[in-house]
Structure formats: structure tokens, C-alpha cells
Amino acid sequence: MSKPETAWNGQYASFNEALKYMQKRAAGQEKSIYTPWPKFNDATTDGLEWNTLTVIGGRPGSGKTLIKDQIIRESFTLNPNDNFRALEFQFEMVGRTSALREFSSITGKTYKELCSAGSKLTNDVLNKCHEYAKERVKYPVDIISTPMTVNQMREQIDMYMDIHKGQKTIITLDHTMLVKRAPYQTNSLDMLFELGEFFTQTKRDYPVLFIVLSQLNRNIDNPERAVDGKYGNYILESDIFGSDAMLQHADTLIGINRPAKQKIRYYGPDRYIIEDDATLVLHFLKARNGDTRMSFFKGLFSQMEIQEMATPPQQDRR
């Protein structure tokens, strides 16, 4: 029987690596990926760091896909001096729909208007979309739309990194529960635990960062959690589906809430006044390399875009 190899290294290696990383950050040679929102960048490490996993959980229609899409869409403009690619595991939304959402963001037209629902789309708008597409396809973004198991995803990433010579890559997954279960996985949690381990191992092996979208557990819709001014209004770590599997692997965990959809007018114990259904609350539940906090955003859903907004006033309880 062969003798096992030693698995340990002296701590010198870790300190040396950290010092080199700090020097590169200080010199601007190593940077995070800036996102479109200063609040988001401030909650993280000046944006999304390489070799990290960001998990974003929310109800359907809460804006989590818009955030992911906007990060990818604007990343090349906001980080012009960085050499990177994007690989999207897009199991939920067909590529055409994703492209139409981008057209919506640059034309100000709704999805329905772009599809000539109600009135015919003008040639001017169509030409604008065509010109945008010609420029957009120059960016190195690739899409995998066939649902896969965790092992199949790993095979694809291994091939992708080999073909592109280990180039830095933003990897997204639009729905954790649409990853296929392997025959040996008895339930969804088995798959999620393996998925979490896959994320951690891959971000150790390659210069990648993950943005992963997740649904919430059903108890988020219990009526008592929609009572004005209660702590239960907030998204909690335990609300993220499969949080036991994902939390330990995530570097940043974000829960998105859209309070007005649950008829919440005064949000949480601080009773922030929710004026319309475009108000989004991002709960930074875990920020391993940043700060946990709660930040407010505005969802411009007709234009497929998220914008920052000021923290709403609180209800006067005198």
C-alpha cells in the first residue's frame, strides 16, 4: 500500500499569499468587479471579489434575476481594464427572453411593447435593438441552457477554463432548484449540499466568481410575516431554500424583499414607509469580506433595471 502524502503546509504560505494579494490590490493590479450600485459595492469588497460565491434569494418577481442580469450587462463597461468572461447557466429562462429584457433596458420599452403586443413595434426601436445587439455580442458571454447535474456542470467548467486558458470568468446560475438530481441523490437537499461543495472547490481551482439565484422557503408567506412593523417582515438566513447547504459555502448571502407585494406598508420594527411596489429591500445577511446591512433599491421592472434609492422615512409613532 502506498504511503499517503502530507496534506499540510506551513502558515508562511497563507501569510505570503495574503501579503501579495494586498500589494496587488493597493497597486490596482487586482480588483473586484464593480457592480452598478455603490451601496452594493460598499457592502462587499468594493464589488464582487474573485474566488467568491454570492447567493441571492428572493420570491418570484422580487428582482433577483434583474440584479444578476444587470451585473453581467454592465460589468464590461464598469470594468473596462479587466480581462474576463461570463458563463451563464441559464436553466430557467430561454436566451431569447433574456435578450428581450436587455432590449427593454436600453429602449425603455416594456417586454410586451417589444413583442408588438397592443401596437406594432416601430422600425426606429427595432433598429436601435439591432445596433445594440451588434455591440453586445462582442462581449465574451456564453450561455448553457441545458439543465445538468452538478458533475456535468463541473465537466463543462473544466472544458471552458481549458479552452479559454484559465481566463477570469463570472459564472452565474439562475435557479439552484433547476440543477438536475443525479441518480444517487435521494432528494433536493442532497443535490444542494453537493452543489455547495462544487462551488467551493471550483472557486479554489479557478479564477472565477459565482452569482447564484435561489428561491425562498414557503414559510416566508405565512400571514403573520406580512403584519406591518414586525421583525418577521425581514428576510432571514433560514428563509433561503436549502440555507443549511448554501450558507456555509456562500461568501455573500443576500435576501431580496418586495414588501408591497405582501401589502406591507411599514417595514420591520423600524417601520420604514413603503410607498409603492417598486421598493426593494436587499438584506445582506452574510458578508464574509464586507458588512451585513439592509439597503433599499427601486425596481424599474418595465425597463428591466434596478436603481439605488434613499432609505425611506420611518413612520412617526407618537
Single out the residue of 78, 94, 29, 72 nearest to residue 170, CA to CA: 72
Domain borders along the chain are: 37-308
pLDDT confidence of residue 105: 85
How many angstroms from the chain centroid is the CA of residue 43?
14
Domain 37-308 fold is Rossmann fold (3.40.50)
**∠47-50-56 over CA atoms, to 5°?**
60
Structural contact between residues 209 and 55, judged by C-beta atoms closer than 8 angstroms: no
Q: Residue 296: left if φ>0, alpha if ψ -120 to 50, beta else—which one?
A: beta
**DSSP code at position 241:** T
Residue pLDDT, tens place only, 55-98: 999 998 899 999 999 999 999 999 999 999 999 999 988 888 88
Question: What is the spatial distance between Cα 259 and Cα 267, in angstroms, rounded to a whole number?
Answer: 7
User: What does the mean pLDDT of the chain come to?
Assistant: 94
Q: Using a CB cutoff of 8 Å and minimum separation of 24, what contacts does 158-166 make?
A: 160/87, 161/206, 161/208, 164/85, 166/206, 166/207
Residues of the chain with pLDDT under 70: 1, 318
Rounded-to-10 torsion of CA 231, 188, 71, 130: -130
Structural contact between residues 96 and 179, judged by C-beta atoms closer than 8 angstroms: no
Single-letter amino acid, residue 206: Y
DSSP string of 49-84, one letter each residue: PTT-EEEEEE-TTSSHHHHHHHHHHHHHHHSTT--E
pLDDT confidence of residue 295: 97
Q: Are strands 272-273 and 168-173 parallel, antiparallel or unpaired?
A: unpaired
pLDDT confidence of residue 318: 58
Residue pLDDT, tens place only, 207-230: 999 999 999 999 999 999 999 999
C-alpha cell at 116: 408588438
Residue pLDDT, tens place only, 30-42: 999 999 999 999 9
Q: Using a CB cutoff of 8 Å and minimum separation of 24, what contacts does 192-201 make?
A: 192/242, 192/245, 192/246, 193/245, 194/150, 195/150, 195/245, 196/245, 196/246, 196/248, 196/249, 197/249, 198/150, 198/153, 198/154, 199/53, 199/249, 200/53, 200/249
